[in-house]
Amino acid sequence: MLVATFGALLRFDRLGTPKAIVFDETYYAKDALSLITYGVERTFLGTSENPIADQRLMAGRRDLWATCAPDNLDPCASYVAHPPLGKWLIGVGEWLWGADPFGWRFAAAVLGSLSILLVARVARRMTRSTLLGCLAGLLLALDGLHFVLSRAALLDVFLMFWVLAGFGCLVVDRDRARERLARWYEGSSLSGAGPWLGVRPWRIGAGVCLGAAVATKWSGVFFLVAFAVMSLVWDAGARRAVGLRRPFAGALRRDVPTALAGLGLVPVVVYVASWAGWFATPYGYGRNWAQATSSGWSYWVFSSVRSWIDYQIQVLGYHTGLDQSHPYQSWPWQWPLLLRPVAFHYVGGAETCGAPSCAQAVLGVGTPVIWYGALIALIGLIAWYVATRDWRAGAVLLAYAVGWLPWFYYAIADKRTMFLFYMAPMLPFMAIALALGAGLLIGRASPQSSRRVLGAAVVGSFTLLALINFWWLYPVITAEDIPYDDWHRRMFFPSWI
């Protein structure tokens, strides 16, 4: 709780600064406001060259959207590229606090702070160490990219949160399933398939969370599929551990049906439910409301579903064809090395900070000490998994690979436009990888304590370096008004500029 509170204080301090619409907030802040006003995203006024809606929003006005005749709503319908759940969450902050920078960043700060608590709890459960759990949470709190995304109305922090929550639910489900198998083993004779392990509410919870991830961004489906397979492999491993003769057949027979419900049907229900506003109103893109409502309820149902599916197919085509160049785009093989971050906000000026030239910036970049340390830790986890088949190393490596490797296909095959902050779902697993690596360095308690003292000194020094590195970056990730020379000194690579 102390670590999570520390991270929350960092994220909520000056949350409304900069008092501007930064980067893709120009889409999501207005779409969120439209959702809580009309139930769907509507077309807002202006263009990128003449952002009328942005100007009105910053002035506190609500007349941001195009107006349409009652018999022709198509010009008002906005074609959106992402599902609505993340924008609904942003809209909740606007509903609570108002449509201003603090309001539209509020939900991101809340879930970003909660993710620090979650990663600490997940790492603690995986390692059975409060120290290592708190270390994982602290490192996530000190990561620059996580910090920036927790203070901006973009979708990626919500995707990260739901992926982490789904993973955490499955880790708890793994423990619960093994406890049930252990109790069954003590009172029953061994058989080929073993017992049915019940409804498994934690697996259903994972389905809800991973469905919410997909309902935030479609890339959540990679984690949904991978984590479902991982959970079934854990089931088979548990059955083999108690000595069942056919563990994989038992998992297929006893566990797959409930897994299909919890990690198949539940996510679909959550995803469709996130589109409730589109189904309930006539303003959505591709919505044939007038035609459907005039033809009876059965036609309304089938016609609405068909229109909705057509819309999903159009969005899929949009994502696979998104290849427009952008000055801050980067490729997946550049991401772990932080070679091209995203400037969310930059304003230069003269003598506003007491110097001849000043800068105010929000640079979407990770803390280099943490990222380069995580890269070493992940390589170490590969060796650890090959040598021991430890499930914790395998789970973290799988989560990282699923969040990273698919983008190589889109980069090579489609030349798709992509950015460093697509790494957001992997950030918690980088922190857990560092905690696992710290546990290996410190070692188990033993009479020979010199190894533990040395390991603790290395881990403590690394943590202190991460804190200093974050403090050094802080002015350029929080839009502090500083001399230009101070800003320039914090650019780790020329490509950061």
Radius of gyration of the chain (CA): 24
As beta bridge partners, residue 77 has 42
Helix or strand (DSSP H, E) at 4 = helix 2-12
Q: What is the mean pLDDT of residues 60-85?
A: 82
Q: How far apart are CA 222 and CA 210, in angstroms?
A: 10
Which of 48-57, 75-84, 252-261, 297-306 shows the lowest mean pLDDT across its residues?
297-306
Per-residue DSSP letter, 65: B
Rounded Cα distance, 231 and 259, in Å? 8
Interatomic CA distance for residues 367 and 485, integer angstroms: 20
Per-residue confidence (pLDDT) for residue 295, from 0 to 100: 60
| The model's pTM | 0.94
Name the residue type at position 227: F
Helix axes 101-127, 427-442, angle to 10 degrees: 30
Residue with tokens 């957001």: 424
| Amino acid in the structure at residue 94 | E
pLDDT tens, residue by residue, 146-179? 999 999 999 999 999 999 999 999 999 999 999 9
Residues 437, 383 contacting (CB under 8 angstroms): no
Which pLDDT score, from 0 to 100, does residue 448 have?
64
Instruction: Reduce the DSSP state of residue 342 to 3 states and report it.
Output: strand
Task: Give the integer Cα–Cα distance in Å for 277 and 257.
Answer: 31
Cβ-based burial of 114 (10 A; exposed 0-12, middle 13-18, buried ≥19): middle
d(Cα 51, Cα 104) in Å, to the nearest integer? 18
What is the token pair recorded at 473? 């970056």
Distance CA 307, CA 300 (A): 10
Residue 344: in which H helix or E strand, if any?
strand 342-349
Q: What is the pLDDT of residues 183-206, one digit of tens each?
A: 887 777 666 667 778 889 999 999
Q: Which of 436, 426, 434 is nearest to 392 (CA)?
A: 436
Classify 50 as helix, strand or coil. Answer: coil
**How many other C-beta atoms are found inside a 10 Å radius of the C-beta of residue 47?**
8
**CA-to-CA distance for 114 and 117, rounded, in angstroms?**
5
User: How far is the CA of 376 from the CAs of 196, 380, 432, 461, in angstroms?
Assistant: 41, 6, 13, 16
- Whole-angstrom Cα distance, residue 165 to residue 114? 10
SS3 361: strand
> How far apart are alpha carbons 345 and 342 in whole angstroms?
9
List, in sequence order, the alpha helices (H) in 188-255. Answer: 201-214, 220-241, 247-250
With vertex at residue 394, the alpha carbon angle to CA 392 and CA 397, rounded to the nearest 5 degrees, is 110
pLDDT reported for residue 244: 78
Four-residue CA torsion sign, 421, 426, 432, 437: negative
Range from 18-27, 39-48, 390-399 that averages highest in pLDDT: 390-399
Task: Tell me what pLDDT residue 447 has.
Answer: 60
> Quick one: pLDDT at residue 189?
66
Helix runs in 39-188, H state only = 52-58, 85-97, 101-127, 130-141, 144-149, 156-187
**Which residue in the block uniquely carries the two structure tokens 């499930």?**
391
pLDDT at 45 over 90: no
Separation in Å, CA 38 to CA 29, 81, 113, 443, 469: 14, 18, 29, 57, 44
What residues form DSSP beta bridges with 347?
A: 360
Q: What is the DSSP letter of 496?
A: G
Distance of CA 149 to the CA centre of its chain: 9
Whole-number Å distance between alpha carbons of 12 and 35? 24
Q: Which residues of 469-483 are buried (b: 16+ CB within 10 A; e: fewer)?
A: bbebbebbbbbbbbb
Residue 453: CB atoms within 10 A of its CB come to 10
pLDDT at position 239 is 84
Percent of the chain residues past pLDDT 70, beyond the cut: 93
Q: Tell me which range, 290-294, 356-360, 381-385, is most confidently predicted by mean pLDDT.
A: 381-385
Measured distance CA(251)–CA(156) in Å, rounded: 34
For 346-357, the pLDDT digits (tens) are 998 766 788 889
Question: How high does pLDDT run on average in the chain?
Answer: 90
Strands ordered across the beta sheet of 342-349? 342-349, 358-364, 481-483
Across 115-136, average pLDDT: 97
Min mean pLDDT across 27-36, 222-231, 243-252 is at 243-252
100 near 16, Cβ under 8 Å? Answer: yes
DSSP 8-state secondary structure symbol assigned to residue 219: T
